[in-house]
Structures are given as structure tokens and as C-alpha cells.
Structure 1
Amino acid sequence: MTIPFWTAQGTIDLADIRPADLTAEILGDTLAKLNRFGGRTREPWSVAAHSVLVERLCLPDLGPWGLLHDAHEAFLGDFTAPAVELICRAGTRSAVEHAIRNAKGQLDRIIASAWGTSPRGLNIHLRRADLFALQAEAVVFMGVRPELAHPSDADEVDRAVGLLIEMEAARDWRAARDLWLSRVEHYAGLGRLIPPKTNPRRGIARTSN
């Protein structure tokens, strides 16, 4: 059974995602147009920009997956924690959480395989970097400082806030897309990522500077 998914590059089948559907240009463009927190930030802040922030907070060997850790959202959208909680109240929590986790995991494996890397979403260091990025975003964009699990994490959150502020230009989606793509190119040059080739009829133009 197919799952038709309309995109500007053509209709794809979510039940049969191909490497040509996962090029750097397509993922970068899509993630740059997806806003974090359901778009409820004071200024736009995209999944692409968030991914670069996480990459910068990661240990060096986790950087490539830091860029890709939310790439599944190019197909699923950004499931915010409150949205998941609301959905769980309308159904069986374990079934809902299991289904979402499985869908993300399946897409992560497909993306990792197409990009010549391994999914690292369960790595504790990457998950902490993702959490610090989330908390920094809450501080900068909502004026909220979430409660920390450990007081010693305050320095890491402050570091994340500083990096986020330095990335002010990435609040524009085109700049966020180009920044994400430039980091992909960095790791591709090192042989640590092998992005799928762009279909000539589906390419998305980069912003010219």
C-alpha cells in the first residue's frame, strides 16, 4: 500500500522512500521551512537552524548525525512534546508513543543508510546536546528557563544560548538552509557523510551571495 506525499518536487511514496527523496538540497530546504515549537516563537527558528546548533554542541564524532537527527521531520513534521501529550490523552499512551518512536526510527534508518552513516539518536551525549539546544531556544525565544535535571547543566545551557545568539542570521529560513548545507558539505568533504545525488529535475537552488 502506497502513502502518497505531495511535495514541490513531485509526489513521493512514504512507504517507499528512495535516496533521490533524501538529497541534501531537499532535506535542507524542507527543514529550513519547518519552524520549531509549532511556530510559536517570537521570531522564526527552523529545524535546520536547530540541527546546526545541536551539531555545534555535540562531541566531534556525533556532529554528522547532529545535522541529521531531526531529518525525519522533513516527512513527519515537528511533533512537539505538548502535541504528543495531547494525542496520548485521546488514545492509549503506550501505543501512541510506540507508533511515533517507530516511525521516527524507521525514517532515521532509511536516512542514515542513504547518507552512508549510522543513526545515533539513542546516544546519550547527542540527546543531551539536543536537550541543551531546546532549553536555550526556550530562553531566547520564549523567555522561559526550563527547570534543569542537574544544576551542573546550567553552564551547558548558557553555552547553547551563546551559540544560538551568534546564529542570529539563521533566523531567516534561506540563511538557515544554506548554513545547514554548508555543514553537510563540510562533513562530506571529510568523507563522514555521503549525501545522495540530486535528481537534476528536482534540485533546489541555493541562495547566491
Structure 2
Amino acid sequence: MTWLQTFTGKHLDYTNPCPHVFDKDSIAQGLSHECRFNGQIPQFYSVAQHSVLASLLVPKHMAWEALLHDATEAFIKDIPAPLKLLLPDYKRVEDRLDKVIRLKYCLPLSMSAEVKKADLIMLATERRDFDLDDGTVWPVLEGITPADFAICPLNPAQARAQFLNRWEEVKPF
């Protein structure tokens, strides 16, 4: 079996994903229940909330892309980057899903520099706010300043609602 039943009852075939499977409710549900940092933080903090906050850090015309920058994680989990490097087959599946989502939602074919920077600002902010700074250098964060707001983690239902509200605010169609 190579498929997953989504929150809205559709079947996502990982070997041949169809665009209709990637609906806003399934994306919001999956991201709101997916904890950042593989759950290795003191409080639950969802990818949905991370995505909403990232969408606030970019110019308005890029907020849609920022909101959906981690949409694949609603269906394949938020695998920590160091582990992802060891899983080339996972990366291929992730890239396949990302391509379909990007085409369906009229996003650039690859993540824009502005959204990537917002993602890094969020990482720096999360590192600060979740006390992940043990003195170890994170080379990816060199020159990146955390956001000027503090993260107040939401529960999954709150994060889902926040994500869906932001979806309606920034969707381009």
C-alpha cells in the first residue's frame, strides 16, 4: 500500500499524487497536528503556526507562498534536516509532493529567497523562544536575526483555525 487517507477522506498515492488530494482542510489539519523539531521542544508548537508566522515576515504578495512553504509536511511529517540528509528516498517523495502542491496553488516552482529567509528567521526565533540555544553554532543561522515578536504556542485546534484564517486572508484566487 502506497497511499494515505487524508483528513477529508481522499487517498494520497505517494507514488503518483493527484492535485485534488491537497485541499486546504487536509493541509491545515496535518500541519496543525505536526510538531516542529520532531516534538523535541518543551511545548507543542505546530508547523501550521510556524507557517502562519513565516507568512507575516514576507511582503504581502509573498505571504501565500510562505504560508504553504511546508505544506508537504501535512502528509509526510516534519523530518529534521539532519535526518532528511540520510533519507534520499524520503527527499524524492517530498519533492514529488512539493511539485504537485506548487503547481496546484500557483506557487513558484522552487522556494523564493524571501520565503527561505523568513523560514530561517523563524528558525532563529524558535531557537531563541524554545531555549534551543545550547551554545552550539548553527551555521545556517549565521547572519540571521530572530523576529521581533515572541512565539506563544497554540494548541492544534487554535493553530488550525489560525492557518485557515490566514489562508483566506492571503489566497490569491
Please report the TM-score for the alignment, with normalisation by the length of structure 1.
0.71
- Bigger share in helix: 1
Identity over the aligned pairs, expressed in percent? 25
Q: Quick check: 1:15 aligned with 2:5?
A: no
SS of 1:79's equivalent? Answer: coil
- CA displacement at 1:174 relative to structure 2: 0.7
1:157-168 mapped onto 2 (5 Å cutoff) = 157-159=146-148, 162=149, 164-165=150-151, 168=152
Cα 1:101–1:59, aligned 2, differ >3 Å: closer, same or farther? farther
SS of 1:12's equivalent? Answer: strand
Q: Is the 8 A contact 1:43 1:171 kept in 2?
A: no
Q: Quick check: 1:105 aligned with 2:95?
A: yes
| d(CA) in 2 for partners of 1:120, 1:12 | 22
| d(CA) in 1 for partners of 2:59, 2:109 | 15
**Which of the numbers 116, 124, 130 marks the counterpart of 2:106?**
116
| d(CA) in 2 for partners of 1:38, 1:107 | 20
**Which of the numbers 175, 179, 184 marks the counterpart of 2:167?**
184
Aligned length in residues: 168
- CA displacement at 1:171 relative to structure 2: 1.6
SS of 2:130's equivalent? Answer: helix
The residue type paired with residue 142 of structure 2 is A
Give the gaps of 5 or more residues in structure 2: none
| d(CA) in 2 for partners of 1:26, 1:186 | 18
- CA displacement at 1:43 relative to structure 2: 0.8
SS of 2:53's equivalent? Answer: helix
- CA displacement at 1:101 relative to structure 2: 4.3
Q: Quick check: 1:130 aligned with 2:119?
A: yes
| d(CA) in 2 for partners of 1:48, 1:36 | 9
Cα 1:117–1:127, aligned 2, differ >3 Å: closer, same or farther? closer
SS of 2:56's equivalent? Answer: helix
Whose RCO is larger (CA < 8 A, sep 6+)?
1
SS of 1:5's equivalent? Answer: strand
Q: Is the 8 A contact 1:120 1:126 kept in 2?
A: no
Q: Over aligned residue pairs, what C-alpha RMSD do you find?
A: 2.3
The residue type paired with residue 130 of structure 1 is D
Give the gaps of 5 or more residues in structure 1: 89-95, 195-209
Asked which structure has the greater CA Rg, the reply is: 1
Please report the TM-score for the alignment, with normalisation by the length of structure 2.
0.84
| d(CA) in 2 for partners of 1:70, 1:135 | 17
